[in-house]
Structure 1
Amino acid sequence: MMLTEHPCFSAHAHFRYGRIHLPVAPKCNIRCGYCDRRFDCANESRPGVTSAVVSPEEALVRVERALCQDNRLRVVGIAGPGEPLANSATWETLRLVRQHFPNLLLCLSTNGLTLADHLPELLDCGISSLTITVNSLSVNSAKHIYQAVAGSTEIDAISTFLATQQEGVAKAVAAGVAVKINTVVIPGVNTDEIEEIARWGGRVGVSIMNLMPLIPQAAFHGIAPPSRALLCDLRSRAGAYVSQFAHCKQCRADATGVPG
């Protein structure tokens, strides 16, 4: 199965094939200013939200049921509701899914803080694609986005995070993993840096970039989301360096089905 059937990497696949997110990872190691995982309702669709955290065994049952309901399912992903690499259940879940459903693509979303360290284990689990949230390359803007990194509020912790994140992205690409960069567009905070992030991503060889509009909440509840015109302009400029994905639904940590 190729990434052409991954609905979060391919515009064509987005409307034809399905994915299931398994909410097995509640713990997180970074506090982002735009993240709020406290609330959930049936009509709430955004990253970090799930109706329940499930065990690896329960996650496996969800995959089996999803396949029975819709044979268009192609991708099994772990996208939270916290940071997958900070949760031991992630590894058990990936191994169970690979053992029972070897034909499905395995995908994972991460902030990249410990990606370089965990990459060998991810490869051993059969990961074929990664989505890494890269919101900044500069401490000057990152300090406004990240409120704490690994429990520290020091600038040095943010600086170290940016360096290790970039190292993880480069190593994943070099290992043959298809990498997508997610960037939350935060007006007045990182909009002037989007093109530089794209330039860097293209240079290291990421497959695609996804610019996501800020959802005003948590520390950023008073910032208006970027306009459609601004997003179009940023995608146009970033597209000179790396392919752009413009169909993202910013879906839940327990999303399932064909997204488009």
Structure 2
Amino acid sequence: MSCSCTTSTNTQSELHASILQKINNHPCYSQDAHQHYARIHVAVAPACNIQCNYCNRKYDCSNESRPGVTSYKLKPEEAVKKVLHVGGLIQQLSVVGIAGPGDGLANPKQTFETFALLKKYAPDIKLCLSTNGLMIHKHIDEIAKYTIEHVTVTLNTVDESGEIGSKIYPWVFYEHKKHRGLEGAKLLLEKQLLGIKMLVERGILVKVNAVLIPGINDAHLPLVAKKVKELGVFIFNVMPLISKPEFGTKFGLDGVPSANHKQLMRAQEACDVNVKMMRHCRQCRADAVGLLGEDRSDEFFKESFADKSFEELSHHYNLNGRMKTHENIETWRRALRAANGKVLQEEALDKNALSSTGKTKLVAVTTRGNGLINDHFGSAKEFLIYEAGDKGIKFIMHRKVEKSYCMGKEGCDGTYPIDEIKTALMDCDLLLTQKIGECPQKELQSIHVACDESYADEPIEISVLKGVKKHFFAA
């Protein structure tokens, strides 16, 4: 038998197919999957081994949607019971993740006990772990043992001097000691890079998150993107800093501003040349439930599942029913792909790939999922943003607003919060929505956003291309 350093075409195809299988129904690792499949985070990891200036772990908090926040903590058995309870009700649930409210690997007993029980009682579900990366090297064998195929590592800097990291991390707790300042930052980076390397060598898909912190690491992020590509990371996600004084974080109290849409777009564009980018992240709570564009965590309390037996919950989970639901989702996705064609150009690096004129437009879309334009403007609390020309389109980001235009009878106080929406859509050229009233249409037209409801309930991608051609590239 001869040995070769080159990889055969067949091996490359097999590798590609194996990766596609891993991400196909994972809403975080696949942009397409996030409109069809749901995730659940179980809050079994309260402790953390580093302090981040953008983080404040808050409990019993239902009014904040950001990492580190949860309404209640769970023991491993309670967490698995919750997954079975939710998985029976939300059958498109495909992923369970441990993402806090602290760090999963700072709570290894709870984390791996949870994963062990999940493999036993929910064998169809994908297992995910989010971590700051400090302790991956200590637990790599356990990660592999429990077939945790997706690990997210937060890596905000690759500055070996520790200067940038010391502005983000006041301390790092390792080997029974708090390491502060430059020492802590350099130690953390060393372990993060080692951990990522070990994960990739084991064939585990790695997503790297980086928090975009204005004035601290924003100009540095392309170097992070370059490094993670060298390490073999699957996907890179730039998350905007969420920083308000009422959140109680160090950055918020010190007046470090949240990152805005323009800053995020610039950072994504600067990093896109180096690595595959994730653009659909929702910066989920530690107890998030549902599709990425929704959070149903407040629907599921301990009282609804904690006292039930595993036998009862396993029956409720209905593995056969879930498999049928997932088969139906895949049938629908195939139909959507056929309807949309190949208009989506995820790898497009310049406007010429999308437009014959070199000029593109930004299109906002309202959706409740399933790949359709199926949400009224009045109820929309987020917008999907696409860049489009007459040749193709590219997904750019989602943009949230705190209040929808129409808050319903219970929430209506006689005002309509159009100003926040206009700010969110200020740079857009076209809005595609299921339905929009005359008044909000006029408001959006005042900032030069055309509105079109003629593509209601149609597939998003092909409709974005058709809409742009209709409004801006007509002969």
Q: TM-score range by the shorter chain?
A: over 0.9
Which of 147, 155, 163 is residue 182 of structure 2 equivalent to?
Answer: 155
Deviation at 1:159, TM superposition (A): 0.8
Q: Which runs of 5+ in 1 are unaligned?
A: none
Which of 235, 251, 258 is residue 268 of structure 2 equivalent to?
Answer: 235
Which of 289, 293, 297 is residue 256 of structure 1 equivalent to?
Answer: 289
Deviation at 1:155, TM superposition (A): 2.3
Which of 224, 234, 237 is residue 197 of structure 1 equivalent to?
Answer: 224
Does the CA-based 8 Å contact 2:35-2:292 persist in structure 1? Answer: yes
1:97-152 Cα deviation digits (max 9, x unpaired):
01111221100000000111211111101101000000011111000000110032
Q: Distance in 1 between matches of 2:280 and 2:61?
A: 23
SS, match of residue 2 in structure 1: helix
Does the CA-based 8 Å contact 2:42-2:98 persist in structure 1? Answer: yes
Q: Which runs of 5+ in 2 are unaligned?
A: 1-20, 294-475
Q: Looking at both structures, which has the greater relative contact order when contacts are Cα pairs under 8 Å and sequence separation is at least 6? A: 1
Tell me the residue number matched to 2:146: 125
Which of 152, 158, 170 is residue 137 of structure 1 equivalent to?
Answer: 158
Percent identity between matched residues is 41
Q: How many residues align structurally? A: 260
Q: Distance in 2 between matches of 1:152 and 1:19?
A: 35
Tell me the residue number matched to 2:256: 223
Tell me the residue number matched to 1:95: 116
Tell me the residue number matched to 2:233: 206
Tell me the residue number matched to 1:43: 63
Q: Distance in 2 between matches of 1:153 and 1:171?
A: 26
1:162-193 Cα deviation digits (max 9, x unpaired):
11111101110111011000000000000111
CA-based RMSD of the aligned residues comes to: 1.2
Q: Which amino acid aligns with 2:251?
A: F
**Normalising by structure 2, what TM-score?**
0.54
1:19-65 Cα deviation digits (max 9, x unpaired):
11010000100000000113543221110011111011000111111
Deviation at 1:154, TM superposition (A): 4.4
Does the CA-based 8 Å contact 2:212-2:238 persist in structure 1? Answer: yes
**Normalising by structure 1, what TM-score?**
0.97
Tell me the residue number matched to 1:74: 94
1:208-241 Cα deviation digits (max 9, x unpaired):
1111110115110111122212211111121111
Query: Runs of at least 4 residues of structure 1 off by over 4 A?
Result: none
Tell me the residue number matched to 1:57: 77
Does the CA-based 8 Å contact 2:60-2:70 persist in structure 1? Answer: yes
Which of 149, 154, 167 is residue 194 of structure 2 equivalent to?
Answer: 167
Does the CA-based 8 Å contact 2:242-2:259 persist in structure 1? Answer: no
Tell me the residue number matched to 2:169: 146
Q: Distance in 2 between matches of 1:11 and 1:154?
A: 37
Which of 10, 14, 31 is residue 11 of structure 1 equivalent to?
Answer: 31
Q: Distance in 1 between matches of 2:275 and 2:215?
A: 23
Tell me the residue number matched to 2:129: 108
